[in-house]
Structures are given as C-alpha cells and as structure tokens.
Amino acid sequence: MVEKRSMPFQASTPFNAAQAERHLWLPYSQMHTAPAPMAVASAQGSLITLQDGRQLVDGVASWWTASHGSSHPHITKALAEQALAMPHIMMGGLVHTQAQRLAARLAALAPGDLNRVFLCDSGSVAMEAAVKMALQYHINRSDGDTQKRRHKVLFFEGAYHGDTMGMMALCDPTEGMHHLFSNMLQQQVMAPLPVDQASLERLEAILDNQGHDIAAMVVEPLVQGAGGMVFHHPEVLRHLRRLCDSHGVLLIADEVFTGFGRTGTFFACEQAAIVPDIMALSKALTGGAIGLGAALARDSVFEGFLGDDPEKALMHGPTFMGNPLACAAANASLDLFEDQPRLEQARAVGAAMAQQLERCRSLENVRDVRTLGAIGVVELNETWLARTSTDKLRQAFIAEGVWLRPFRNVIALTPAFTIGDEELRTLTNAVWNVLSGGAP
C-alpha cells in the first residue's frame, strides 16, 4: 500500500492548474465542456484579483453573499480573533457567547415573534430544518393519531429551495435544475404562485382538497431567485398568510437569498407586513465570509416540541451547527448593518441599476429588464438559447472585466451594497456592450 502524503500549504504556494483539473469537481458545470475555471489570488470589496493579475468587478457578490464586499476588515478581524479563542465547539449540551449573541440579535431583527433560532451550516440545511420542524410540529400535535398527521409540503411553480434530497423535492420538477430526479423524490404538492385571480383560485382549490394533508407551505418571498429572478408583489405573501391561517398550514419563508437587505428591506417579508411561522436564512448572514444557516421559529411552533416525551424533541443537529467562527462573522456583519447605512446603500445601488440597465430594454434579444432592491435582472429571449450558451456569455463578460454568472436566459446583477459608482457602471456597461454586440 502506497502511503499518500499531504502537501504542506503556504500562502505563497503557487496555483497548480493541473492539480485543480485532476481533482476538483465543480458545481453546476459540465466538466467535459466548461471553460477552465479561473484561479483567484484575492478578493477585496467588489474586485476579484486573479492569479494572472487581471481584475474583475464582482457582479454577484460571491453568489449573493458578500453584501459588505469581500474580505471586509471588520469581519476578517472578528474571524481571526475567534479562531485564536475557539474555532469550533459542539452545540450538543454546550453553547458559546457568539451563538447566544447572534440568536438574540436575529430574534430582535426578525418579524413578529420569530424568537427561536436553530443554527446550522447552509441555506439548504436551514430549509431542511425548517421543513422538519413543520412536519414534526403536526406529528407532535396529533398525539399519536396517525389520521391527524400531515405529511405533505406545498411549494410553488418555478421554486428553488436547495440541492439536498429533501429540498430537491420542493423545486420545480420540470423547469428546475433537478428535473432528472423528479421520479425519485418524495412527491410533494406543487401549486401556482397566486399572482392573479386565476392562480389564486387554483391555489385555494388545492388547499380545499388537500389542505388536511399539508403541513407547510414554502415560499421565496418577493423573488424566486435561482428559478429565474421572478418578482412578485407583497400582496402575494398576504394571500399566503391568510390561506395558511385558514387551513392550519405553517408558512415557511425561504429568505436564504432575500434576507439581509437584498430586496431593500432587512427581510423581504417586511414589505408584506406578515410574520411567517418559520424563516430560513443563510447566504449574506455572515457577510459572505463563511457558511452559516439559521431557521427561526415562532414561539408557538417551538412550544409544540415541549413536553415530558423525549420523542417530541427536534432530533436534528448538524456537526458544525452554530460554529463559533461563523457566528462571529455573522455578528460582525450585523455590526455593519447597525453602524453603516447598508439598507440605504442597497436601495441606491438598485436605483442606479434600474437607470443604467434600462437601455437594454431596446435590444431585440432582451425580453425584460427589472430591478428590486439591490437586484438587477436582464431577461433574454428564449431564442437566444438556441444559438449560444451561458458559458460563452460568461466568457464575454470576463473579456469586459466583470464576473457575472448567467443562468438559463437570465443575467442577474446582485453586487455588494458597497460597490463603487465606477465599478457599478463597469458592470452595467458590460451587460450593454455584450448584448448590443449581438451576444456571443
């Protein structure tokens, strides 16, 4: 047996492209045909510096996470200090100051009485925990009567809630990226988002017929993100809250993408003045520094797990839940929201994108231009897909000096709230230059 020896890493260790190609399996990529990934040397603010010295303006805030820009000194300082004190400790029977402080701050910021905070390690896992809470809540309330147990979850057409097996079952089975698994997953209940009277009546009919089996309804408030950056009016959320109350269904708000200012308010649910029963958070929770997720539950949901019966407890506990490093980063990020005008900056970025992207509407290959908060979207005509690819489009943006990741026929701009005026102009000019040139 040949012993494999690890190779020591130093900050000065050069990037080895051959090793990367040989060993890394990258996400959402056909590795046989995708362009070679670019090696990054550093990321500061809204600039990505590559190993070859080129710089790109980050137009997606490192997958919608770095709301304060990359490597913010207040966050990196908090990480460094926490790493020296205690990089990790299990939360089974133990707790620490960073988690206690973060939970209290999130409860204070969240709508209504979302006072119970379950810390985990990603958005998908936060949603898994949220759905598990909802299902077990109804089990606990049934007092052993299996006829009273609700075992279904209602989700919406075009939805995306994560890549785990449980969450793939709550993504659009035909239009979503997980359609290959549609016949292998637990079948849930898909409904139209009630954006008009006809779709509202269809949703009401589904609940009238199946509501007794439905434990929870999951929704991405105001924006279906990875499903195509599709916006909906706050009134939709008010309809959902009303219907859930009428049918005894728990409402789960997936604010993994929308939370922490992305839609212009701290949480998207605020714009509808509703309180979900459970809310999932991640992405910008740590300011993009390290992975962390959270599922916040109302007091009434939490109380459904209390009692003398140990089987009523929530049996869920990711190994790295409540990691002190991640909690320290999240607390530092919340400091910045408190001390800096981040929400005003988010809205200003959105207003600038709306003005600068509007000219794209005149292009023949553009179907729509829309903005909400610090989200800018240019939607291309479906015919565009027949003659090019998102890989080619991404390469064209790189040539313009920007980092954007188009998906399907959507170009989404989700920059840091702190992006500079010239950097933002570089982003929007790149979109115009590529599309007005006929697209690759």
Mean pLDDT of the region 363-390: 91
Please identify which of the residues 121, 137, 160, 277 carries the catalytic annotation. Answer: 160
Q: What pLDDT was estimated at residue 178?
A: 82
Q: What pLDDT was estimated at residue 3?
A: 43
Which phi and psi (to 5°) does residue 75 adopt?
Answer: -75, -45
First to last CA, the chain: 50
Residue 11 — very low, low, confident or very high, per pLDDT cuts 50/70/90? low
User: Do the annotations mark residue 63 as ligand-binding?
Assistant: yes
Q: What pLDDT was estimated at residue 386?
A: 72
Mean pLDDT of the region 327-340: 99
Residue 15 — very low, low, confident or very high, per pLDDT cuts 50/70/90? very high
Q: What pLDDT was estimated at residue 439?
A: 57
- Match 């966050």 to its residue by tokens: 75
Q: Is the pLDDT of residue 9 over 60?
A: no
Q: What pLDDT was estimated at residue 177?
A: 80
Helix ranges (H only) for 143-196 are 165-168
Q: What pLDDT was estimated at residue 142?
A: 87
Please write the tens of the pLDDT for every residue from 242-255: 999 999 999 999 99
Q: Any catalytic annotation for residue 137?
A: no
8 Å CB contact between 294 and 286: no
Q: Which residues contact 41 (CB under 8 A, 6 or more apart)?
A: 49, 50, 51
User: Do the annotations mark residue 254 as ligand-binding?
Assistant: yes
8 Å CB contact between 58 and 403: yes
User: Do the annotations mark residue 319 as ligand-binding?
Assistant: yes
Q: Any catalytic annotation for residue 254?
A: yes
Q: What pLDDT was estimated at residue 2?
A: 45
Please write the tens of the pLDDT for every residue from 149-176: 899 999 999 999 999 999 999 999 887 7
Question: In the chain, where does the domain assigned CATH 3.40.640.10 lie?
Answer: 74-339
Please write the tens of the pLDDT for every residue from 223-238: 999 999 999 999 999 9
User: Do the annotations mark residue 317 as ligand-binding?
Assistant: yes
Quick one: what percent of the chain has pLDDT higher than 90? 86
Specify the DSSP class assigned to residue 391. Answer: H
Q: What pLDDT was estimated at residue 440?
A: 61
Q: How far is C-alpha 393 from the chain's CA centre?
A: 23
Residue 437 — very low, low, confident or very high, per pLDDT cuts 50/70/90? confident
Look up the CATH architecture of domain 74-339: 3-Layer(aba) Sandwich (3.40)
Q: What pLDDT was estimated at residue 5?
A: 47
Mean pLDDT of the region 171-194: 88
Residue 86 vs residues 53, 161, 328: alpha-carbon distances, Å: 35, 32, 11
Q: Partners of 377 in the beta sheet?
A: 370, 412
- Match 């993009």 to its residue by tokens: 288
Specify the DSSP class assigned to residue 182. Answer: T
User: Do the annotations mark residue 283 as ligand-binding?
Assistant: yes
Mean pLDDT of the region 79-100: 98
Q: What pLDDT was estimated at residue 387?
A: 77
Q: What pLDDT was estimated at residue 279?
A: 99
Q: What pLDDT was estimated at residue 179?
A: 79
User: Do the annotations mark residue 390 as ligand-binding?
Assistant: no
Please identify which of the residues 28, 196, 245, 392 carries the catalytic annotation. Answer: 28
Question: In the chain, where does the domain assigned CATH 3.90.1150.10 lie?
Answer: 27-58+341-437
Average pLDDT, the chain: 94
Q: Any catalytic annotation for residue 143?
A: no
Distance CA 281, CA 260 (A): 9
Q: What pLDDT was estimated at residue 1?
A: 43
Helix ranges (H only) for 191-287 are 197-210, 234-247
Mean pLDDT of the region 61-70: 98
Mean pLDDT of the region 331-355: 99
Which phi and psi (to 5°) does residue 177 adopt?
Answer: -75, -10
User: Do the annotations mark residue 160 as ligand-binding?
Assistant: yes
Q: Any catalytic annotation for residue 4?
A: no
User: Do the annotations mark residue 300 as ligand-binding?
Assistant: no
Look up the CATH architecture of domain 27-58+341-437: Alpha-Beta Complex (3.90)
Mean pLDDT of the region 75-84: 99
Please identify which of the residues 58, 121, 172, 254 carries the catalytic annotation. Answer: 254
**Strands 375-380, 410-413: pairing kind:** antiparallel
